[in-house]
Amino acid sequence: MTAAPVLELVDVQASIGVSHILQGVSFTAPANAVTVVLGRNGVGKTTTLRAILGLVQRSGSIRLLGEQIEQVETSKIVRRGVAYVPEDRDVFRRLSVQENLMLAERKNSEHRYELVYELFGELKARAKQAAGSMSGGQQQMLSLARGLLNENALMLIDEPTKGLAPRVVGDVVNVLEKAREISTIVMVEQNLAVARRLADHVVVMSEGRVVVEGERDLLDDDHRMRQLLGLEAEGKGH
Amino acid sequence: MSTAIDTPVRRTRRRLVGPIVAIVIAALLFIVPFLNVPTFGILPNNLNRPGSLQVLAVVLTICALAVTFDIVFGYTGLLSFGHAMFFTLGGYGFAMTLKLTDLGFGVAVLVGILASIVGAVFVNAIALRATGVAFSMVTLAVAQLINIMISRNYFGSGGEEGLTLPFQAMPTFFIGIRNTQNLYWLALALLIIVVALALWVTSTRLGHSWKAVRENELRMKVMGVNTYLTKLSATVIASVLAGACGIVYVIVLGTAEPKISGLLFSLSLIVMVVLGGRGRIWGAVLGAALYTLLEQRLPTVAALPAIADLPAVFRIPLSEPQLLLGIAFIIFIYALPGGITGGIRSAIDKRTARRQAIGRPATTTTK
Amino acid sequence: MDSALLLGFTGLSVGALYFLLASGLSLVFGLMHVLSFAHGAYLSVCAYAAWAILDAWGTEGRTGWELVIACVLATVVGGVIAFLTELLLLRPLYGRDSLDQLLVTLGLGFVIVATLRGIWGPEERQVSLPEWVKETTALGGANIPNDRFIIIGAAILVFVLLQLILRKTRHGTIVRAGVENRDMVRALGIDVRHSFTLVFTLGGMAAGLAGALGAMYLRAVQPGIGDHFILFAFIVLIVGGLGSLSGALVAAVIVGLVQQFANFYIGSGAGDVITVALMAVMLLVRPQGLFGRTERVA
């Protein structure tokens, strides 16, 4: 049974200032699956996620759940059921954990606090703590918790394991494996091992474009991966 | 613009239109003191009477100042809230030397210029270390410092009453009602020189680099350009010229008034340039002429019995030029961001495009 | 010693007025990234509103309640014009450069002050106050004019109220988050523009109150009364930090005290010069201010 894809991009262009970063990105994110976006540094992976959300100047066709959203404002897109877990966490540092979560609550959805506290026990204990005073890993948990709080058709996750210690990476991956059961995910990830554990669908970018789109087995082709991703593909198979 | 009917003759004609119009206008302005024509209330009396010439001299001087501000704001994109401080340094440097010492007129002018150069380099070198809003606030701060010092009569700067120039120290051709025309010609000469200099320097590579900084400073930096020096060159040149304008202004008025050091005056330069058209020399002149003329004359017009009897809703806008100018300013930001000259420019462009569309065979493509 | 005490209270009073104006500017800049030149004009309008009320009240039946009413009215007027400004003038410009929004506030300031001057003329109008406000209370050997207590008290009240709004309400939390990272707030599905309106209006209300109290403090109103305070409000804003309410409070105390003490002990204008220089130094050394919270300044 194939459901309609949650997200379809066709020839999406995006600029930041005068830098024309996305030169025509096209791919599809199938429903109930994890689509991993790979590519070297600077190819436009983060910009792609931000373009979907309308956080950068964009043009082209972006369809979310069958509806065009390239002209829709960011907060409206999110309210249709999109969660964003940005690179570098972007939690509100001076607000408490509780306030961070509270802001994430959306009106048209259930707030799954039990699920969140079950997955992220620490956050309950640290409810009143200022988010900025937590470790990187804990902030990442908070960021993911914000993303999982509401019922979302799509989660956009940007390098969730970046800069984290190996043990914490494992915790994050466990959380993501639970997340994939309840939401479609589009995830930018540089860490090939993490990608191998989670990916169903694979998109590889280069210089602002998608160069390869395929399924999970693509990641097992070491030679190809090394070509597409450069030396980062080596040594990440742990 | 490439059209099937463009010829070398037409191109040369187009290039000459600007300078020819400019020379004609300059010539017309030159003979103004000889034209005994009525002005229908726009000026105090007939065109060549001292009252009218005085008003025109003020207008021309402020036009020159606005051109210097356009270099900073319109071309280089730096929003300075204190540009008039250099105008003040020049004018007050001149006035204080003339009044408080007996070094004479020539030295006083020199001191005014020196004060503006020193001020220009010192203040801008520091202010440009900040960027964006911070830069604007630094200019505001320094301008206010000068304003405070003048209003408290520091260093004998005269306080609220200003400094009246001692007429015995002034050259005779600037004294007396009969010589108002000389003041007028002085102001006209200033405007012509400032406009010519501005037109020239903005056409050089340096001038183009100013525009490039306004459009995309990051890209310039990435290319290795020292944008700090670029911005510094624009502000220093503009500030020194503003100082020269200040000297002429004080001569024209016969006194140095503290209001030129005030925040309102600096802010009004922004209004002038936006009304006329940012980044266009003629825009700055037009906007300043409109603003200053209205400011000088509208209250007098509104005091006429015919107007003073009107209901308040008409009388008040007429008696307060800043009200009308402020409203026009706001409307322009929405509807006419290029100012009056921008509006004229796009009207011309539209007409040319229409003409081309008619005159061209269907298969030709433009550009 | 007693002159020091008097100067202290005066410094805290002017600081209180600067704080009221700066609190709005701080939140507006922190969240909207717009420097508002309009709030000084709002102060002027509301100063006139307060003057008009007190003038109309006449001189009999003075209990002190008319002061409260004047302040409340001024606050409401300030809020209303700020609300209308944001809705009608600023919203259409949100896609554009924040420079355009700054320029519009500038233009509005021009228009408002010119209108005031057109209606009431440039002369000063005396504010009619009950006697006990103009009298003094002996404290520690000094005679402190009673208006000082009122002004300082009002500012503290406003600070507490604003902090409560910011910390205890959802809207306030959104504002605090937005000052830190506006894009992330949008990415959580929140339309930040509602917060813009809130913040701009709160700033207008604070400016309105500052207008009423400023009229009381100066005992007179004239069209340029806002300009008198806006410069120092900007200084407080820069020194205290963009987007930080407590920063504005601390800076206001510092600026007010330094200004009054220096003007008295060093010489007329010295305090003004020092505080303005302080702003310039802060801009160059630490542009986000002592407690600045916003993600960018330039």
Question: Which residues of chain C are within 8 Å of residue A94 when distances are taken between CB atoms?
Answer: 176, 180, 293
CA nearest to B260, candidates B69, B58, B96, B88: B88
A190 CB-side CA count, 13 A: 18
Question: Which residues of chain C are within 8 Å of residue A95 when distances are taken between CB atoms?
Answer: 173, 176-177, 180
- Specify the higher pLDDT residue, B354 or B7: B354
The domain limits of chain C are: 21-224
CB contact under 8 A, C89 and B317: no
Read off the pLDDT of residues A96-143 as tens digits, 9 standing for 90 and up: 999 999 999 998 888 988 888 888 888 888 999 999 999 888 999 999
For every residue of chain C, which 3-state class applies, written as one string? CHHHHHHHHHHHHHHHHHHHHHHHHHHHHHHHCCCCCHHHHHHHHHHHHHHHHHHHHCCCCCCCHHHHHHHHHHHHHHHHHHHHHHHHHHHHHCCCCHHHHHHHHHHHHHHHHHHHHHHHCCCCEECCCCHHHHCEEEECCEEEEHHHHHHHHHHHHHHHHHHHHHHHCHHHHHHHHHHHCHHHHHCCCCCHHHHHHHHHHHHHHHHHHHHHHHHHHHCEECCCHHHHHHHHHHHHHHHHCCCCHHHHHHHHHHHHHHHHHHHHHCCCCHHHHHHHHHHHHHHHHCCCCCCCCCCCCC
Specify the CATH number for the domain of residue B177. 1.10.3470
In degrees and rounded to multiples of 5, residue A19 shows phi and psi of -85, 120
Read off the pLDDT of residues C65-108 as tens digits, 9 standing for 90 and up: 888 889 999 999 999 999 999 999 999 888 788 889 999 999 99
Tokens encoding C280: 């310039």
Span C125-139, mean pLDDT? Answer: 83
Tokens encoding C97: 């450069």
H or E element at residue B171: none
Task: For residue C195, give every residue at least 6 positions away whose Cβ sits within 8 Å of its Cβ, in sequence order, or none.
Answer: C31, C171, C174, C175, C178, C185
What whole-number distance in Å separates Cα of residue C44 and Cα of residue C211? 6
CB count in 10 Å sphere of residue A66: 9
What's the pLDDT score for residue A119? 87
What whole-number distance in Å separates Cα of residue C83 and Cα of residue C202? 9
Span B262-271, mean pLDDT? Answer: 92
pTM for the predicted model, two decimal places:
0.87
User: pLDDT above 90 covers what percent of chain B?
Assistant: 46
Q: Which residue from A minimizes the CA distance to C191?
A: A75
Read off the pLDDT of residues A170-218 as tens digits, 9 standing for 90 and up: 888 999 999 999 899 999 998 888 999 999 999 999 989 999 899 988 8
Read off the pLDDT of residues A6-33 as tens digits, 9 standing for 90 and up: 999 999 999 887 788 999 999 999 999 9
Tokens encoding C105: 């506030």
What whole-number distance in Å separates Cα of residue C188 and Cα of residue A85? 10
Asked if A168 and A13 touch (Cβ cutoff 8 Å), the reply is: no
pLDDT for B361 beyond 60: no
What's the pLDDT score for residue C90? 92
Tokens encoding A175: 């959380």
Please check whether residue A15 touches B, CB under 8 A. Answer: no
Question: Which residues of chain B are within 8 Å of residue A17 when distances are taken between CB atoms?
Answer: 216, 218
Question: Which residues of chain B are within 8 Å of residue A18 when distances are taken between CB atoms?
Answer: 216, 219
What whole-number distance in Å separates Cα of residue C156 and Cα of residue C158? 5
The residue length of chain B stands at 367
Lowest mean pLDDT among B296-310, C186-200, C208-222: B296-310
* Torsion sign (Cα): C282, C286, C292, C298: positive
**Residues forming beta bridges with residue C221, ordered by sequence position:** C125
Please check whether residue C284 touches B, CB under 8 A. Answer: yes
Q: What is the separation of C-alpha B359 from the centre of its chain, rounded to a whole number of angstroms?
A: 40
The phi-psi region of residue B272 (left if phi > 0; otherwise alpha if psi is between -120 and 50; otherwise beta) is alpha
Q: What is the separation of C-alpha C30 from the centre of its chain, rounded to a whole number of angstroms?
A: 15
CB contact under 8 A, B130 and C283: yes
Confidence of residue B56 (pLDDT cuts 50, 70, 90): very high
pLDDT for B40 beyond 80: no
Choose the closest CB to B133 out of C111, C114, C298.
C298
pLDDT for B51 beyond 70: yes
Interface of A with C (CB under 8 A): 53, 55, 73-76, 78-79, 84, 86, 90, 92-95, 99, 102-104, 106, 146
Chains that touch C (3 or more CB pairs under 8 A): A, B
Read off the pLDDT of residues C261-283 as tens digits, 9 standing for 90 and up: 999 998 888 899 999 999 888 88
Give, as one character, the DSSP assignment of residue A211. E
State the best of A55, A57, A71, A74 to mutate against chain C, taking most chain C CBs within 10 Å.
A74
Task: For residue B363, give every residue at least 6 positions away whose Cβ sits within 8 Å of its Cβ, in sequence order, or none.
Answer: none
Q: In whole numbers, what is the pLDDT of chain A averaged over residues?
A: 89
Span C171-183, mean pLDDT? Answer: 93
Tokens encoding B71: 């270099």
What's the pLDDT score for residue B366? 45
Confidence of residue B317 (pLDDT cuts 50, 70, 90): confident
For every residue of C46-93, which 3-state class applies, written as one string? HHHHHHHHHHHHCCCCCCCHHHHHHHHHHHHHHHHHHHHHHHHHHHHH
Question: Which residues of chain B are within 8 Å of residue C28 when distances are taken between CB atoms?
Answer: none
Instruction: Give domain status of residue B252, yes or no.
Output: yes
Confidence of residue A236 (pLDDT cuts 50, 70, 90): very low
Residue C213's alpha-carbon distances to B232, B291, C44, C83, C231, in angstroms, are 43, 35, 11, 21, 17
Read off the pLDDT of residues B185-231 as tens digits, 9 standing for 90 and up: 999 999 999 999 999 999 999 999 999 998 888 788 888 888 899 99
Confidence of residue B364 (pLDDT cuts 50, 70, 90): very low
What's the pLDDT score for residue A233? 44
Q: Which residue from A minimizes the CA distance to C177?
A: A92
Question: Which residues of chain A are within 8 Å of residue C186 when distances are taken between CB atoms?
Answer: 55, 73-75, 78
Size of interface B-C (CB pairs under 8 A): 115
CA nearest to C117, candidates C210, C36, C41: C41
* Torsion sign (Cα): B267, B271, B272, B274: positive
Tokens encoding A50: 């931000």
Burial (0-12, 13-18, 19+ Cβ within 10 Å), C18: buried
Read off the pLDDT of residues B142-165 as tens digits, 9 standing for 90 and up: 999 999 899 888 888 888 888 888
Question: Which residues of chain A are within 8 Å of residue C180 when distances are taken between CB atoms?
Answer: 92-95
CA nearest to B357, candidates B346, B365, B367, B348: B365
Instruction: Give domain status of residue B281, yes or no.
Output: yes
Angle at C122 between CA C117 and CA C123, to 5 degrees: 140
Asked if B191 and B59 touch (Cβ cutoff 8 Å), the reply is: no
Give all strands (DSSP E) within B200-335, no chain letters.
255-256
CB contact under 8 A, C298 and B271: no
pLDDT for A237 beyond 50: no
What's the pLDDT score for residue B12? 75
A20: three-class secondary structure by DSSP: strand
pLDDT for B367 beyond 80: no
Question: Which residues of chain C are within 8 Å of residue A106 when distances are taken between CB atoms?
Answer: 188-189
- Specify the higher pLDDT residue, C140 or A111: A111
What's the pLDDT score for residue C43? 95
Choose the closest CB to C191 out of A75, A84, A92.
A75
Q: Which residue from B minimizes the CA distance to C120?
A: B316
CB contact under 8 A, A74 and C293: no
Give, as one character, the DSSP assignment of residue B177. G
What's the pLDDT score for residue B22? 84
In degrees and rounded to multiples of 5, residue B89 shows phi and psi of -60, -45
Q: How many domains does the structure of chain B reveal?
A: 1
- Specify the higher pLDDT residue, B29 or B3: B29
Tokens encoding B185: 């010609």
State the best of B76, B79, B139, B148 to mutate against chain C, taking most chain C CBs within 10 Å.
B148
Asked if A52 and A125 touch (Cβ cutoff 8 Å), the reply is: no
Read off the pLDDT of residues B235-252 as tens digits, 9 standing for 90 and up: 999 999 999 999 999 999
Span A45-49, mean pLDDT? Answer: 94
Confidence of residue C242 (pLDDT cuts 50, 70, 90): confident
What's the pLDDT score for residue B102? 84
CA nearest to C207, candidates C36, C69, C9: C36
User: pLDDT above 90 covers what percent of chain C?
Assistant: 59
CA nearest to C14, candidates C185, C152, C158: C152
Assigned CATH for A7-233? 3.40.50.300
Q: Which residue has the tokens 């993303």?
A: A147
pLDDT for C60 beyond 90: no
The interface residues of chain C toward chain B in range 99-128, judged by CB-CB distance below 8 A, are 99-100, 102-104, 106-111, 113-115, 117-119
Strand ordering across the sheet containing A7-16: A19-29, A7-16, A57-64, A67-68
pLDDT for B360 beyond 70: no
Please check whether residue A18 touches B, CB under 8 A. Answer: yes
In degrees and rounded to multiples of 5, residue A15 shows phi and psi of -130, 150
Q: Which residue from A minimizes the CA distance to C168?
A: A99
Question: Which residues of chain A are within 8 Å of residue B216 when distances are taken between CB atoms?
Answer: 17-18
Reported ipTM: 0.89
Read off the pLDDT of residues B66-75 as tens digits, 9 standing for 90 and up: 999 999 999 9
Please check whether residue C93 touches B, CB under 8 A. Answer: yes
Q: Which residue has the tokens 């009304």?
A: B275
Q: What is the separation of C-alpha B103 from the centre of its chain, rounded to a whole number of angstroms?
A: 30
Please check whether residue B218 touches A, CB under 8 A. Answer: yes
Instruction: Give domain status of residue B243, yes or no.
Output: yes
Chains that touch B (3 or more CB pairs under 8 A): A, C
What whole-number distance in Å separates Cα of residue A51 and Cα of residue A74? 10
CB contact under 8 A, C108 and B330: yes
What whole-number distance in Å separates Cα of residue A203 and Cα of residue A194? 15
Choose the closest CB to A95 out of C176, C187, C192.
C176
